[in-house]
Structure 1
Amino acid sequence: MEATAREFNQKSSQILAAAARGETVTVTKNGVAVARVVPITADDIPAYPTDPMGELDLPDLGLPDLDNDEIEDALRGMGS
């Protein structure tokens, strides 16, 4: 499928729907191909990290592991 830049601007949702159906759309400007909209597969999509920062490698500081109550006790009275 081929679309002009004007058609792409005016009918982008239909062009994206065509790509979602598996069609490749070549966009032209003044008769010259300038872009291609291609369908993607699950293999094309990178895996998302499990948290916003991805995996973090924190150094071992040799500190004891504290449970929530111990942390609250240590922080009680700190600050305001």
Structure 2
Amino acid sequence: MQQTQTLPFSGAKSDAADAVMLANILRLDADSHRPIPEDTDLARAIKVLARAQQDAVWARTALGDQIRSVLKDYYRPPWPRSMR
């Protein structure tokens, strides 16, 4: 089987160019690529746990920011900021 060069390679990185290249590869050589398999139950469970962990991290960060803001307001020094 002879392989032909269908796309020139450029060293420049671009999301738009990458998307066009991938679309062309699938359009021109779809037979030589296997379909992406469905996620297993384990993979779906891992996705759910990873999302829950990320949500917990975001919530923890938001709470820390809120606490910091409240404490800054409560313990505001009596002198102007320029005198520090």
TM over 0.5: no
The structure with the greater share of residues assigned to strand is 1
TM-score under structure 2 normalisation? 0.27
TM-score under structure 1 normalisation? 0.28
Structure ranking higher on relative contact order (CA contacts 8 Å, 6+ apart): 1
